[in-house]
Amino acid sequence: MRRTRIAVLAATVVALGVTAAGTAAAGPTGDARDARDTNATAAHAAALAKAAALRKAIDGLPAADATAAQVRYKGEDLRWSGAAGRADLRTHRPVKGDERFRAGSITKTFTAAVALQLVHEKKLDLDGTVQHYLPGLLPAHYPDVKVRHLLDYTSGLPGGDTREAPKSPGWDKGRHTTWDHRALVQAGFGKPMEFTPGTRQHYSNIGYNVLGLLIEKVTGRTYEQELRARVIDRVGLKDTYSPGADPRIKGRHTHGYEAIKASGGGTRLVDTTEWDQSETWASGDLITTTADLERFTAALFAGRVVPQQELKLMFTVPEVPAYGSSRPAAYSSGLTRIQLVKNGPVYWGKSGSRYGYLSGFGATQDGTRSLVYSVNSTDAKGDAATAPDSRIGRIIMAGLGEPSA
């Protein structure tokens, strides 16, 4: 596979203004000036080091693990964006950094934002039940499931198996199947509840697809219409949309590829770009860009998308254990709590994957530091793709990690 030299779109260290000395009476003392100059120099050096680490993390593409990467970082002393690799291996078109991609489960953050707006408007009640809003959707023997349970993954609802497991012989057989939204939700309801609602947390798509149905029921409009009016247009996201049953990605975009074992040994890359995303719908069908995600993150965390009262839920993890383990829950309503090192800073964000695409964003709650990435991983559903020593792991540590880490 041909490699392409990294294309850095922008790498700017924000000037750390060191003013000229004034008179002894009006300006700082020599010691104060020295301390200020030392701090400015250290901050400048740290910004340059971070930019170099981000650049290194995406260098060398295309490679066996990924075909392209797009990254954006924003901090107090640095704004950086870069891209590397090929947007299309067939034409050898280089990625520029403004291409659209499939965002996968990042969609859940957008869906949560719509639902929480409706909670603020009292069109939805956090303690209202699915059985009340959508009678007949859940089996009669299921216990009451509240809106808050859907938002923070504590519903206990079983999800349906809409496609074969990754790397299995039939892994891509459903790529052109269009799912009815209600049928998608009910696909797993032949199974018993996983646990009593509100007692465990199990991350899955089911709750957010039910939220999609709830949004449509209480507004009388489609989920896609509400998402556009309440989030996409409100924030000014010019390259973000829900594709519906269209398997294509409109406009300039990166191609996704999955590495599959070849019959004669080794691996071959399968182009997974065209894929009907109705199998994920309100939990994972969004198409966007890194610039739009950066803009969305800033607006969301600043309270310009979800009112402050409801926004608190997006930064609150329920105090329950994770399903199937003794570990504490890590997900809030639409976000994930991220702490890369013990006693280190806390970030909030969301990741998402579709075949050929692995993306994510993370930021401090006050929005002073943020990272957005999209990597065209050739094993996007594999655990190795997000391991600490993976390309994505290195991107995350370069952007959000501390020097001591």
Q: What are the backbone dihedrals phi and psi of residue 267, each rounded to the nearest 5 degrees, phi first?
A: -130, 160
Chain-centroid distance of CA 159 in Å reads 21
The answer to which of 68-77, 106-115, 171-180, 205-214 has the lowest mean pLDDT is: 171-180
The least confident of 4-8, 57-61, 101-105, 126-130 is 4-8
Q: How confident is the model at residue 29 (pLDDT cuts 50, 70, 90)?
A: low
**pLDDT value at position 32?**
57
Phi, psi of 84 (to 5 degrees): -150, 155
Average pLDDT over residues 383-387: 94
Predicted confidence band of residue 100 (pLDDT cuts 50, 70, 90): very high
CB 374, CB 85: distance < 8 Å: no
Alpha carbon dihedral 92, 254, 394, 266, in 10-degree steps, equals -60
Query: Given a cut of 90, is residue 39 above it in pLDDT?
Result: no
Which tokens in the block code for residue 377? 């991983």
Whether the pLDDT of residue 132 is over 60: the answer is yes
Q: DSSP letter at 228?
A: I
The set of residues, in sequence order, having a beta carbon less than 8 Å from that of 91 and lying 6+ positions away, is none
CA distance 335 to 312: 11
What's the whole-number mean pLDDT along residues 12-23? 32
Q: Alpha helix (H) ranges present in 165-205?
A: 181-186
Q: Which residue has the tokens 């390309």?
A: 391
How many C-alpha atoms does 242 have within 13 Å on its Cβ side?
A: 28
For residue 38, the model assigns a pLDDT of 66
Please give the backbone phi and psi of residue 306, each rounded to the nearest 5 degrees, phi first: -110, 130
How far is Cα 187 from Cα 92, in angstroms, rounded to an integer? 40
Average pLDDT over the chain reads 90
The closest of 5, 8, 7 to 79, measured between CA atoms, is 8
pLDDT reading at 269 higher than 70 = yes
Among 33-37, 166-170, 183-187, 301-305, name the one with the lowest average pLDDT: 33-37
177 pLDDT above the threshold of 50? yes
Q: Which band of pLDDT confidence, cut at 50, 70 and 90, is reported for residue 284?
A: very high
**Residue 35: its H or E element:** helix 30-57
User: Which comes out higher in pLDDT, residue 285 or 29?
Assistant: 285
**Could you give the angle at which helices 391-400 and 30-57 cross, rounded to 10 degrees?**
170
- Catalogue all structural domains in the chain, each as residue range(s) with its CATH number: 94-400 (3.40.710.10)
Mean pLDDT of the 128-147 span: 98
Q: What is the distance between the alpha carbons of residues 125 and 32, in angstroms, rounded to a whole number?
A: 55
307 within 8 A of 321, measured Cβ to Cβ:
no
Rounded to 10 deg, the angle between the 206-219 and 107-120 helix axes is: 40
